[in-house]
Amino acid sequence: MSAQIINGKKTAEELEAVLKSDIAELPSAPGLAIIQVGDDEASTIYVRNKLKAAAAIGINAVLHKFSEDVSQKEIADLIITLNNNKNINGMIVQLPLPAHLNEEELLDLIAPKKDVDGFHPLNIGRLQNGSSKALLAATPKGILYLLEKEKIDLTGKNALIIGCSKIVGRPAGMLLLQHGCTVTFAHIHTQNLPQLVKTADIIIAACGCPQMVKAEWIKEGAVLIDVGINRINGKLCGDIEAAAAEKASFFTPVPGGVGPMTVAMLLQNTYEAYLKQNHK
Ligand code: GUN
């Protein structure tokens, strides 16, 4: 079987072009605030990509960068200020945060209507309930967009989610459940991963373990969504062995698969938040 590559980079570029022309019609630029604490190398790259992509389509993105030893109160005060700033439509706190900060308390402070990462309990509850009012986490939203764009039938399919983070695994599983999949969550204590992979029609690998999912486990014709961005000897690789693609019907490459969609969906959430806040 010759597997089809799901080109997330191209899809993200197309989406961003549409967003750019939609934003050009607005009376003012949507505003996005990004809060970053410390100098985590991966976070700095992600934040740079978000700022650049936002600027390219007319979103006014502002970085609030703090040193590693910033206090909880300083960040909390900024979030409250941004909640009350009419020019800011979306806000994210780049994760991970240093251990001395209480992440849950800070994320809970973000006004749900500005929570363009979809991490606030209200948006997670809305997702759980299948409410169209939910702002959805960017990576799972991007994954669903790619699956739907490729017209991959989800109804009744066995979907295996590997990695249960609140950023990707949990919300992705919930979205697939709502689209008719039978969802299994695998995690660090899962004992029979090869067996679960062998029966999975759709695999979302988001565990951050380089090439953990082996090609020999993959069911013929499976759909492989690889969220991993790892390096082995300086070379980028995903959580799924590259050779697995030969057995798949569809697969996302690393890089150029899911990664660019995360940025595109963050921008789309910011645009949608702007429209809702301005009653458009
Ligand atoms: N860290 C890794 N991915 C993400 C993301 O999507 N949003 C935020 N805020 N932090 C992250």
- pLDDT tens digits, one per residue of 56-111: 999 999 999 999 999 999 999 999 999 999 999 999 999 999 999 999 999 999 99
Residues 240 and 198 in one domain: yes
Residues 150 and 250 in one domain: yes
Active site residue 36: no
Residues 143 and 92 in one domain: no
Q: How confident is the model at residue 280 (pLDDT cuts 50, 70, 90)?
A: confident
Q: Report the nearest atom of ligand 1 relative to the CA of 262.
A: 6
Residues 84 and 144 in one domain: no
Choose the catalytic residue: 36, 50, 157, 226.
Answer: 50
Residues 145 and 225 in one domain: yes
Residues 142 and 254 in one domain: yes
* Whether residue 138 has its Cβ less than 6 Å from ligand 1: yes
Averaged pLDDT of the chain = 97
Residues 76 and 153 in one domain: no
Active site residue 94: yes
Task: Supply the CATH number for residue 182's domain.
Answer: 3.40.50.720
Q: What is the pLDDT of residues 241-263, one digit of tens each?
A: 999 999 999 999 999 999 999 99
Residue 211: inside a domain, yes or no?
yes
* Whether residue 92 has its Cβ less than 6 Å from ligand 1: yes
Residues 201 and 103 in one domain: no
Determine the residue of 49, 167, 207 to mutate for testing ligand 1's pocket, defined as the one with the most ligand atoms within 8 A of the Cβ atom: 167
Q: How confident is the model at residue 112 (pLDDT cuts 50, 70, 90)?
A: very high
Residues 106 and 154 in one domain: no
pTM over 0.85: yes
Calculate what percentage of the chain has a pLDDT beyond 90: 99
Residue 133: inside a domain, yes or no?
no
Determine the residue of 46, 143, 207 to mutate for testing ligand 1's pocket, defined as the one with the most ligand atoms within 8 A of the Cβ atom: 46
Range of the domain at 180: 138-258
Q: How confident is the model at residue 127 (pLDDT cuts 50, 70, 90)?
A: very high
How far apart CA 103 and CA 106 sit, in angstroms, is 5
Residue 17: the pLDDT is 98
Residues 233 and 188 in one domain: yes
How many domains does the chain divide into? 2
Residue 130: inside a domain, yes or no?
no
Distance from the CA of 1 to the center of ligand 1, in angstroms?
35
* Whether residue 115 has its Cβ less than 6 Å from ligand 1: no
Residues 243 and 152 in one domain: yes
Distance from the CA of 61 to the center of ligand 1, in angstroms?
16
The residue-averaged pLDDT of 215-224 equals 98
Distance from the CA of 233 to the center of ligand 1, in angstroms?
25
Residue 231: inside a domain, yes or no?
yes
- Taking CA atoms only, the protein residue closest to ligand 1 atom 11 is 95
The residue-averaged pLDDT of 41-47 equals 96
Residue 263: inside a domain, yes or no?
no
Active site residue 178: no
Q: Report the nearest atom of ligand 1 relative to the CA of 139.
A: 6
Residue 180: inside a domain, yes or no?
yes
Residue 2: the pLDDT is 77
Vertex 126 angle, CA 155 and 150, to 5°: 35
Write out the DSSP string of the chain.
Answer: -PPEE--HHHHHHHHHHHHHHHHHTSSS--EEEEEEES--HHHHHHHHHHHHHHHHTT-EEEEEEE-TT--HHHHHHHHHHHHT-TT--EEEE-SPPPTTS-HHHHHHHS-GGGBTT--SHHHHHHHHHT-TTPPPPHHHHHHHHHHHHTT---TT-EEEEE---TTTHHHHHHHHHHTT-EEEEE-TT-S-HHHHHHT-SEEEE-S--TT-B-GGGPPTT-EEEE---EEETTEEE-SB-GGGGGG-SEE--TTTSHHHHHHHHHHHHHHHHHHHHTT-
Choose the catalytic residue: 36, 94, 211, 268.
Answer: 94
Residues 85 and 182 in one domain: no
Q: What is the pLDDT of residues 166-206, one digit of tens each?
A: 999 999 999 999 999 999 999 999 999 999 999 999 999 99
Residue 1: the pLDDT is 59
pLDDT at 131 over 70: yes
Choose the catalytic residue: 36, 114, 115, 117.
Answer: 117
Q: Report the nearest atom of ligand 1 relative to the CA of 137.
A: 6
Residue 213 identity (one-letter amino acid): V
Calculate what percentage of the chain has a pLDDT beyond 70: 100
